[in-house]
Amino acid sequence: MLTTVVLNGYLGVTFFFVLSGFVLTWSARPELPTSTFYWRRFARIWPAHMVALLVAIPVFYSLAPIAEGSFLKPFDLGILLLSVVLLQAWWSNPTILFSGNPAAWTLTCEAFFYALHPWISRFLVPLARRGALLLAGGVVAYAFAYRISVVLWPGSWLADVPLPIQRLPEFILGMALAWAMRSGWRPRIHPLVGIGSLGAVIVLQVVSNRFFGAVPGLRSIPALTNELFTVACGLAIVALAAHALKGRRSFFESKIQVKLGEWSFAFYLIHATFIYIALRVFGYQPAAWSNLAWFAGLLVIDLVAAWALHSFVERPAERRMRRWKDRRDQARRDAALASASA
C-alpha cells in the first residue's frame, strides 16, 4: 500500500504544469513585449538547469562498461546536447527522454508551453469568463478523450504523441482558469474541498488497483489517474486563489511554505541526482515504514542542495539577466520617444 501511494509522486509534475499556466496568465501584462516574456522565462529556468545538469552527468553517466540493470548510461555528447537545449522530451526513447538530468524532461514541456503562451493568450484574452470556462472544459474533455483512446488502441500512433503535446492541456487548463478569474469568476469551493480532491484521486487510484483490477470498466480507472488529477489540480488552485482574493490567509502562505515554494524549482532539478547518489553509496532501500529515517535524511540533504542552487545560482542569475533585458527595453523606449519628439 505504501509503495503504491509513493509511486504517485509523479503527479506533482501535473500540478506544476497546471499551476504554471495559471500563474503566468494571472500575472501577465499586455504591455510586456513578447521578447521580454521569452527572455524572462529563459532566465528563470536555464541557468539553474545547466548547473543541475553538470552535477547530474557524473552521477548518471559512465565511460566504463556498464553492468546490465544499472541505471548508469554510456556517455553520449550528442544526446546530452539535446538536454542543454531542452529538446529531449520530443523523443519517447528513454535514453533520450531521460538524458542528462532525468528530471529535466519536464523542462522541454515547459519550454514548449512558454513558446505558445503569448499566442494562446491572444486567443484567450478576448474571451469573457464564460468563454474561458468553456475552454477549460474543452481541454479537459480532450485530455480524457485522448487517454481513453490510448487505452482502447494501445498499439496505435496515439501512444507516440510527444510528451510536450500530450501535456499541453494541463497548461492550457491553468491558463483558462486564471483568465476566468481575472474576468471576475469567483468559484465557491472551500479550500479543503479543492485540496481534498487531490487526495481523493490518489485514494481512488490505490483502491482501484488493489480491489477492482479485475472488474471491467473499473480496472481502467488507474489509466485515467493523470487526467483525474489534472481536474483536481484545477479545483485546488482556483479554490485557494478565490480564498486569497477574499483576503483570507491559508497554511500555504506561512513563511516556511513560501520559502519552500521559492526553493521548489531547484528542489525538483536536484532531487533525483541526490537520490541516485544515495543509491550508489548505500544501495537500494525498500519502501517500508522501517526505512523512513533513510528517506527523511535524504529529504534534508535535497532541501539543503535546493537552497544552495536557488540562493547561489537560480535567483542571482535570473536577477542579472532580467536587469540586462530591462535596460535594453528601456533604452529602446527612450530612443523611440526621442525619435517621436524630434
Mean pLDDT of 263-274: 96
Higher pLDDT, 3 or 30: 30
Element of type H or E holding 119: helix 105-124
Query: Is the four-CA dihedral 307, 308, 314, 317 of positive or negative sign?
Result: positive
Mean pLDDT of 116-143: 95
Minimum mean pLDDT range among 37-51, 205-219, 252-266: 205-219
Q: Which pLDDT score is estimated for 216?
A: 62
Does pLDDT of 160 surpass 60?
yes
**Nearest in space to 129 (alpha carbons), one of 181, 53, 70:** 181
User: pLDDT tens digit string along 5-58?
Assistant: 666 788 999 999 999 999 999 999 988 999 999 999 999 999 999 999 999 999
Does pLDDT of 215 surpass 80?
no
Higher pLDDT, 251 or 165: 165
User: pLDDT tens digit string along 222-241?
Assistant: 889 999 999 999 999 999 99
Mean pLDDT for the chain overall = 91
Q: Which pLDDT score is estimated for 58?
A: 94
Q: Which pLDDT score is estimated for 5?
A: 62
Beta carbons of 117 and 134 less than 8 angstroms apart: no
Q: Which pLDDT score is estimated for 325?
A: 96
At residue 155 the predicted structure's pLDDT band, cuts being 50, 70 and 90, is: confident
**Nearest in space to 136 (alpha carbons), one of 191, 90, 199, 187:** 187
For the ranges 2-16, 56-70, 125-139, the one whose mean pLDDT is highest: 125-139
At residue 286 the predicted structure's pLDDT band, cuts being 50, 70 and 90, is: confident
Mean pLDDT of 82-94: 96
Provide the β-strand partners of residue 62. Answer: 74
At residue 291 the predicted structure's pLDDT band, cuts being 50, 70 and 90, is: confident
Provide the β-strand partners of residue 74. Answer: 62
Q: Which pLDDT score is estimated for 212?
A: 65
8-state DSSP, 161: S
| Cβ-proximal residues to 124 (8 Å cutoff; 6+ apart), any chain | 25, 132, 135, 175, 176, 179
Beta carbons of 180 and 132 less than 8 angstroms apart: yes
At residue 3 the predicted structure's pLDDT band, cuts being 50, 70 and 90, is: low
Q: Which residue pairs, CB below 8 angstroms and at least 24 apart, start in 111-117?
A: 111/41, 111/45, 111/86, 112/164, 112/165, 112/168, 113/17, 113/20, 113/21, 113/164, 113/168, 113/171, 114/24, 114/37, 114/38, 114/41, 115/38, 116/168, 117/21, 117/24, 117/25, 117/37, 117/175
User: pLDDT tens digit string along 4-15?
Assistant: 666 678 899 999
Q: Which pLDDT score is estimated for 213?
A: 61
Residue 290 phi/psi, 5° resolution?
-70, -15
Q: Which pLDDT score is estimated for 1?
A: 52
